[in-house]
Structure 1
Amino acid sequence: MQITISLRYLLIAFFCFTIFAPTRLSAEEPAFDPSRLEVTTLEIGLKQPMELEVASDGRIFYIEIQGQLKVYDPKTHQSTQIGEVKVTTAQENGLIGLALDPNFDRNGWVYLQYSPPNYEGQHVSRFTLVDGKLDNTSEKLLLKYEEQRRDCCHHAGSLEFGPDGCLYIGTGDNTNPFGDSQGYAPLDEREGRYYFDSQATASNTNDHNGKVLRIRPTPEGTAEIPAGNLLPPDGSKGKPEIYVMGCRNPWRISIDQKTGYLYWGDVGPDAGAESPRGPRGYDEVNQARQAGYFGWPYFIANNLPYSHVDFKTGKVGEKFDPAAPINESVNNTGLRELPPANEAFIFYPGSGSDKFPELGSGGRTACAGPVYYYDATNPSQTKFPPHFDRTLFIYEWTRHWIMAVHLTEDSQIESIEPFMPNQRFVRPIDLQFGPDGALYMLEYGETWGVNDDAKLVRIDYIRGNRPPTAIAATENNTGRQPLPVKLSSAGSADKDGDKLTYRWQAFRAGDVDAKPIVLSDEANPEVVFQEPGVFNVELKVTDPSGAEAVASVPVIVGNARPNVTFVSPQDGDFFDSKSKIHYQLQVNDIEDGTSDFELADETGAPEIDLEAPRRTALNLTMGSGSIPRGGADGASDSDPVGLRLMKKSDCFNCHAVDSVRVGPPFLKVAEKYRGQENALEASMKRVREGSTGVWGKVPMLPHGQHTQDEIRDMVSWVYSLEPNSAVRVFDGFVGDIELTPEEVDKAGYVQLEANYLDLGAEEIPPLVGTSKIYLRKRKVEAEAADEISGPQTLGGHKASGGNFLGAINHGNFACFRQIPLDHVGALTFRVTSAGSGGYIEARLDSVDGPVIAKAKVDVNGSWENFHDVTAKIKPQTGRHDVYVVFVNPQNRGGLMNLDSVTFQPPAE
């Protein structure tokens, strides 16, 4: 009997543990494998995307700041614009918030937060989709709130529904953070400085700005005040829509759909160090379980207090009390006594965080949400695994990362884990989980503006056997016979770790009946082609389960590609309007000869090929920003995903963007097919399967190594190309180019690309040799330095490129590589300082190298009024790395801001 009772209690205990214990693993799922997280690009070419929502049928709705509402259809794999609202985009305004009604499948209601041109503030409205299109006449205005548009910044903008049917609305403090605030709390109460005082907005109970608002939309298209908001619903103590206040820039909010807790990222101020005014800048991720006050502009992070400041005299007073904050600003129209301040859930500065070291260092733009719950009953095979059950995803627009914050049953922080740390997300701006349990994301792109690399992506967790990846490459794949060719399968792999088998075979182009020529079963063989011809060399890799992947590379035998080099100028030289760009090209071709082009006729007597200079073209284009990193065809992180895929494939072996190689220029392809119905699918089919005779004798090789999504990205990038009216073309091997002062002032760099088309060899088509160099502007934006150690890239409206290097401390440096110093006589630094000031030393080739110039930076009392200081350099020869080192051993923190460096020409 005793044994029976013990067994019974054991069974009961086991049952209770099974039911109530927190679960990270499922009996149906193996352990979490990070390599099974895969990113698929759904759409490229987005223009400043803001927010997205995923409908229950898998359609993805998203907005762009200029006012467009678009939807991506997973069935057609295409986006369509389904509506537009008129907006102003002044001072970061526009279409900034999107939400679908909880009953969207039934009623088709869409909620938009936008900036009307004829109203100084924001509208939050409900619209109805009619026949899949936004019906502008159906607008129901739920809420409008005023903002100032005279000064920058912080409009935030974000809409989310909670599980209770309430609509949450993120609003920024709408306060100018610059000027005499010096990167600390903007508390300027002087007359005429209302826009520099966040006490008038974020901590004002009678103002909608600097808050997360909460309303309950009604079926009639009005809004009710739900129970549980911060202030009474009758408006007696302030705006009744306020749920949380004391926010600076809550531009991404999210609601836990199980707990109803509100999460948001709050973008913090710029101060780089503590001072009597208060703490350095922090960004926050906040959690609100109920209505409350979150401190700005009196407190930040874990309630670190700022001090009273008299902006007339600069006198710093007592610190604010988080237990009993008081708003005594002359600009406050609400309550004087505020609720106790809540501490931030997660907080981090620009430098590394002791409390949250996983978050790293750098610029800061915090975003929060969503929260994921694993659903074992969801039949989707791509849903996120149990490892992420009850996990808050936070992300960084500036630092390009996503973090998985694992939560306890009580929604406290259990751990923080980098999410896909080897994947660089290009400024994630919104995340949402779909009904399939996959994560959908908008990537804004590299800069604040319209970006070629803005895109919509999906992240899946792939289960089961995965096919291998085939990558084929060649070394010496063009030349005269006999042609030794090294074939490489480097990069080919099986994601499940299975051993692969290899098969290399060649197909002669144009001979559809010929059997393939088996070349080798080795992974990286070297083979010799004895006969001239155009060949498609195919690599097939197979895993033990029979899953295959194929990659192809071209081999052209019988004609060597010509070699084109620049005699002058050299890569990295300066350009300006005071001197012409003199260019001289050298061409060497095994079959045709050299730049002299003395060809032998049938009798052996030399003759001059008068057409050779005409088959030589020099293209000049000007680009903005700094010289591209990654080289002519080298993949760069800033490239659109389609271009990155093409650079890693064989595309640029046969094509260039705007000149003939083996195949047509990509610009010609784009012009021929863009806008034609079904053209994208037809081009994808030709890329995948290959084609002959569309553009000439040389066939398009099949590209079975790429997935449908990858080919779509590649072809979509080609279709996105537009003719560059700024391209200037020059013929011949030698010439001079003049640039106007206006061209030099506008350009960030000059790109020179030389192309020479050879004569071909019998049946072998002509080939193009190409060489590309970049010329640099004498004025270089500081944030474009090749290496930055210590300073942060910050935004500023008075900075020449919109950004500058700030938070500069003693010993920090920026490096500019391979500067032709024999063409430099002085260095001009564009600087400002409201901190410690100090010196800038220019050192040769290392941070400890000899000092070639030294400039003093005095304190001018401003962090944004830049001015020039110039230092002559000692005469140098050749190219050197120039290290710009910031020095102030007495006052080591908050030295200065650096906007640009100008490498002045030597005195004549």
Structure 2
Amino acid sequence: MRKLALGVLVGLIGFGCSTEHHEEEQTPPEETRFIKEVFASNLYEPTELVVLPKNKILFTQRRGGIKQYDLSSEQLSNYDSIPVFFEREDGLMGMALDPEFAQNDWIYFYYSPVGADPINRLSRFTYTPNGLKNEVVILEVPVQREECCHTGGSIQFGGDGLLYLSTGDNTNPFASNGYSPSDETPGREAWDAQRSSSNTNDLRGKILRIKPEPDGTYTIPEGNLFVDDDPKTRPEIYVMGCRNPYRISIDSKRGWLFWGDVGPDASNNQEGRGPRGHDEFNVAIKPGYFGWPLFVGDNYAYNEWDFANNTGGAAYDPEKPINNSPNNTGLQELPPANPAKIYYPYASYEKFPQLKTGGRNAMAGPVYYSDEYDARNEFPSYFDGRVIYYDWMRGYIFFLELDEEGNPIDWYQFMPNTEFNNIIDMEFGPDGQLYMIEYGTGWFTQNENARLSRINFIKGNRPPVLKATLSATRGAAPFEVSFDASQSLDYDGDNLTYKWLVAGEVYTDSAFTMTFDKEGVYYPELLLSDGRNTVKKQFVVEVGNEPPSVQVVIAGNSSFFWDGRNVAYEVKVADLEDDQLAAGIDRSKIEFDIAHYQSSDMAEALGHQTAVSNGQALIDGLDCKSCHKMEGPSIGPSYTEVANRYRNDQNAVNYLSRKIISGGGGVWGEQAMSAHPDLTIEDAERIVDYILSLGQNSKFPLAGTYQTTKDGGKYLFSAAYEDQGKGSLKPIKQSGEAWLRYNVISGDQFDDSYEIQARNGVINSIYHNSWVRFNDIDLTDIAAINLTYRKDLRGADVSIRLGDEKGKEIGRAKIYPSATSGTSYRVDLTQTEGVSDVCFVFLNPEEKNQLIMIQNIEFIPKTDAL
């Protein structure tokens, strides 16, 4: 796995020590001094990690597995496992080393044991080279297992040797419309977080603080939230009023506690009910109550709510919160609520504009102090005292400088140009480098982009950046491939040397071409060196199976459809290997579909690659992949399931695009979808168009005539074929498609322009010599162009030209107040065939002011093409 990681350092930065003096550094380090080194990929629900002082890394998996990575041998192995109950969010959640691990080999786990008793358990084990030994149960937390959600489960030790354990509210949030789950109806206890998070006599929805003793018991340290022997309080509680404090950290010097709390889902405030959902980053300088489920964010108060009658009462008072739920077994009068230090909804938020928008999942990472490490490449002292705050779904990491009250006063965004796929835990190792695990983009499943990695800081000479491409990776023999690493670079300006190892040959040019004559699978590798550091990357080239060719051929005009057009089409598939078989290509395995999409913005291109990537790029830039996969299980339905469910729904684009913006749940189960209130309706429609294009293909003949019946939008004719492979070479699937856009185009959908302003579908600022250009227009069967104008103002000649503003003129319109009446003008064309850019040039040399406003451009077909 590690050979396939881009930019992997050949020489691992070890745990070696030096006597370098830690000098104070005030300048933020360059991002290029940090390198992500991937050790392992394709992990199965990793949860928490520890870095051992024995050059090894342990990490847990939610379903009970414990993996070990040996930094010396670069090997990932199955270290051990703990039998766990792993339905819903339960399982193996947390792990931490004893502060005296080097002497006693003790390690702590928080997990859901199998069996009839609904509990979560904190246990101590002894680490041995051959697995865990000698479980000692430290603490058990009673829970309910009938309903989802929120386990917490992070374990950390403070500098004073005290153990901190986070627990979730263990409450179903899905019947509360994204507001406070405080259902006091008899039999609905699992829907009432007042019984857990705001219950002084319950260990759930808390961060506990205890002192483990050598005999396996624990004692209560001084300074917890409740210090007396009141039977209505639990003395283990340090912080209460948490929803799901999934990752916590402790400042080893100041003793401050940090955690991210994952908030509820309501996308809007509701009068009489309470605030929209917020995620929180919290700081506890001393013990306290942090509000859930009575408050969220900056102590925004919920209203008491009668779930049986759907009526609201008074808002809770953060100065004097009262828990009067019949499910509460603790004190009714709670401590004053503490507000979060950072809080943010789905939408953009003026108070914290750097936090982007979309799904939310706040996490707390470690606090860094450079003088705790004496290694060659520990992080610089610029980070001293800064705590890491990150968001699991939004993918960013910040090192925060805090004031004496824990408020953020400086935000350093860490490696903003590096992609992280749902970071779930991170820890500084003995070498002063940052280790992390990424859960990956699909929930409750194995993910290829779930990774164990390390962020190395390079003090001195930086390794080169390897950027290499292959012209093709699959084809029939003889197979010619061009290798190109010429875009590789070195931030220190060092001369680069290239060593390509390809099929037993060595090449030293940055770019070259070679031919593979023999069939088989090859693994070309590039070693790139700056004279001090070497990085490498391995590729895969499969020779012997030529990818199939798939085309959708449209007879006549290949750009447009119009009212009632009879589109003659044919799907053409060829495959070098399958065509040679006795039966040839199995045409029943050719997938073909014709679909209409209402969105009409096709200005970017007509090709499916660009159109699909438009919606796909929007998805990649949001949090969608955290809940949905292309196929297979995750916390939400797969894209293909959505496409197949809504493929025949005429209102699907409208309904789903608004669902993406507003969020909500109930269609595919209780899990709510994140709201995206800052997304435009146009972008949401593009996302839906892309998703709907992924459904099962309907059965249209592979050749025939299809009559268009829609006005506006676009039609997609799409085909795909997977060949049969060859020998040990796997099958290859290729697709082909043809888009037809509506022949009436809004003026603002041009591809390029000069001295033009356009908005709301209109070109509304046109001067002498202004022009707009539409790329790759097929003029076959087009007789004329009809220009619809909103205002003629001072008037203009409109010259229609091929190519660009200086190209061949194929039509001219004179639109002047005195020359025309009405709001449209037809221009007959002198050339009506071929694909070309079409440019509209506006001319009136006598005027310096605005000439005309163009609303629509209609490409009129010939009579015999109707």
Question: TM-score normalized by structure 1?
Answer: 0.60
The Cα offsets for residues 608-660 of structure 1, whole Å up to 9 and x where unpaired, read as x665849999799xxxxxx999999xx99999xxxxxxxxxxxxxxxxxxxxx
State the distance in 1 between where 2:128 and 2:540 align: 51
Q: 1:403 aligns with which of 392, 398, 402?
A: 398
Q: How does 1:595-614 map to 2 (within 5 A)?
A: 613=584
Matched, 1:154 2:150: yes
Matched, 1:791 2:660: yes
Change (3 A) 1:560 1:101: closer
Matched, 1:52 2:59: no
State the distance in 2 between where 1:169 and 1:536 align: 47
* 1:225/1:233 contact within 8 Å kept: no
State the distance in 2 between where 1:584 and 1:797 align: 40
Match of 1:116 in 2: 113
* 1:564/1:585 contact within 8 Å kept: no
Match of 1:336 in 2: 332
Match of 2:125 in 1: 127
Match of 2:193 in 1: 198
Match of 2:433 in 1: 438
Q: 1:565 aligns with which of 527, 549, 563?
A: 549
Matched, 1:67 2:49: no
Q: Secondary structure of the residue that 1:257 maps to in structure 2?
A: coil
Q: 1:299 aligns with which of 290, 295, 298?
A: 295
Change (3 A) 1:616 1:39: farther
The Cα offsets for residues 649-682 of structure 1, whole Å up to 9 and x where unpaired, read as xxxxxxxxxxxxxxxxxxxxxxxxxxxxxxxxxx
Aligned-pair identity (%)? 37
Read off the aligned partner of 1:445 and give its amino acid letter: G
Matched, 1:319 2:191: no
Change (3 A) 1:793 1:304: closer
Match of 1:173 in 2: 169
State the distance in 1 between where 2:42 and 2:477 align: 44
Match of 1:141 in 2: 137
Where relative contact order (Cα < 8 A, 6+ residues apart) is larger, the structure is 2
Q: Secondary structure of the residue that 1:175 maps to in structure 2?
A: coil
Q: How does 1:635-674 map to 2 (within 5 A)?
A: none
TM-superposed CA distance for 1:469, in Å, is 3.9
Q: Secondary structure of the residue that 2:548 maps to in structure 1?
A: strand
State the distance in 2 between where 1:476 and 1:877 align: 26
Change (3 A) 1:111 1:496: same
Match of 2:778 in 1: none
Change (3 A) 1:567 1:497: same
* 1:25/1:387 contact within 8 Å kept: no
Matched, 1:457 2:453: yes
* 2:357/2:678 contact within 8 Å kept: no
Q: How does 1:719-738 map to 2 (within 5 A)?
A: none
Q: 1:388 aligns with which of 372, 383, 390?
A: 383
Q: 1:358 aligns with which of 341, 354, 359?
A: 354
TM-superposed CA distance for 1:546, in Å, is 7.2
Match of 2:33 in 1: 36
Read off the aligned partner of 2:660 and give its amino acid letter: P
* 2:249/2:366 contact within 8 Å kept: yes
Match of 1:225 in 2: 220
Q: Which deviates the most, 363-372 or 87-96?
A: 87-96
* 2:640/2:694 contact within 8 Å kept: no
Change (3 A) 1:793 1:50: farther
State the distance in 2 between where 1:373 and 1:222 align: 32
Change (3 A) 1:322 1:484: closer
Change (3 A) 1:353 1:417: farther
TM-superposed CA distance for 1:588, in Å, is 6.9
TM-superposed CA distance for 1:325, in Å, is 0.8
* 2:262/2:279 contact within 8 Å kept: yes
Change (3 A) 1:314 1:809: farther
Match of 1:84 in 2: 81
Q: How does 1:542-581 map to 2 (within 5 A)?
A: 543=530, 564-566=548-550
TM-superposed CA distance for 1:476, in Å, is 8.2
Match of 1:814 in 2: 685
Match of 2:160 in 1: 164
State the distance in 2 between where 1:151 and 1:352 align: 32
Matched, 1:248 2:243: yes
Q: Which deviates the most, 265-274 or 458-467?
A: 458-467
State the distance in 1 between where 2:120 and 2:478 align: 71
Read off the aligned partner of 1:817 and give its amino acid letter: D
Change (3 A) 1:154 1:533: closer
* 1:266/1:366 contact within 8 Å kept: yes
Q: 1:587 aligns with which of 565, 571, 574?
A: 574
Change (3 A) 1:794 1:92: farther
Q: Secondary structure of the residue that 1:251 maps to in structure 2?
A: strand
Read off the aligned partner of 1:67 and give its amino acid letter: G
Read off the aligned partner of 1:398 and give its amino acid letter: M
State the distance in 2 between where 1:145 and 1:477 align: 54
Question: TM-score normalized by structure 2?
Answer: 0.63
The Cα offsets for residues 398-445 of structure 1, whole Å up to 9 and x where unpaired, read as 112222112346654221122111112111111111111111111111
* 1:395/1:401 contact within 8 Å kept: yes
State the distance in 1 between where 2:695 and 2:159 align: 67
Match of 2:847 in 1: none
The Cα offsets for residues 333-391 of structure 1, whole Å up to 9 and x where unpaired, read as 1111111111112111111121111111110111112111122x844223111221111
TM-superposed CA distance for 1:81, in Å, is 2.9
Change (3 A) 1:323 1:356: same
- Size of the alignment, in residue pairs? 633
* 2:347/2:676 contact within 8 Å kept: no
State the distance in 2 between where 1:115 and 1:103 align: 26
Change (3 A) 1:44 1:554: closer
TM-superposed CA distance for 1:811, in Å, is 6.4
State the distance in 2 between where 1:348 and 1:747 align: 28
Change (3 A) 1:68 1:354: same
* 2:357/2:676 contact within 8 Å kept: no
State the distance in 2 between where 1:188 and 1:811 align: 35
Q: Secondary structure of the residue that 2:185 maps to in structure 1?
A: coil
Q: Secondary structure of the residue that 1:105 maps to in structure 2?
A: helix
Read off the aligned partner of 2:123 and give its amino acid letter: S
Structure 2 unpaired stretches of 5+: 1-20, 555-569, 592-607, 621-630, 699-709, 716-737, 744-866
* 2:474/2:547 contact within 8 Å kept: no
State the distance in 1 between where 2:340 and 2:330 align: 24
State the distance in 1 between where 2:466 and 2:589 align: 36
The Cα offsets for residues 29-52 of structure 1, whole Å up to 9 and x where unpaired, read as 986221111111122232111111
Q: Secondary structure of the residue that 2:354 maps to in structure 1?
A: helix
Match of 1:211 in 2: 206
The Cα offsets for residues 817-854 of structure 1, whole Å up to 9 and x where unpaired, read as 377899999xxxxxxxxxxxxxxxx99549xx9xxxxx
State the distance in 2 between where 1:431 and 1:784 align: 40
Change (3 A) 1:784 1:471: farther
* 2:24/2:381 contact within 8 Å kept: no
Matched, 1:369 2:240: no
Match of 1:700 in 2: none
Change (3 A) 1:785 1:68: farther
* 2:653/2:685 contact within 8 Å kept: no
State the distance in 2 between where 1:554 and 1:430 align: 32
Read off the aligned partner of 2:135 and give its amino acid letter: E
The Cα offsets for residues 483-527 of structure 1, whole Å up to 9 and x where unpaired, read as 9987643431113244x46779999x67x8xxx899xx7x768x8
Read off the aligned partner of 2:151 and give its amino acid letter: H
TM-superposed CA distance for 1:282, in Å, is 0.4
State the distance in 2 between where 1:58 and 1:506 align: 31
Match of 1:651 in 2: none
The Cα offsets for residues 265-298 of structure 1, whole Å up to 9 and x where unpaired, read as 1111111111121111000011111111111111
* 2:93/2:153 contact within 8 Å kept: yes
Matched, 1:282 2:278: yes
Alpha-carbon RMSD: 5.0
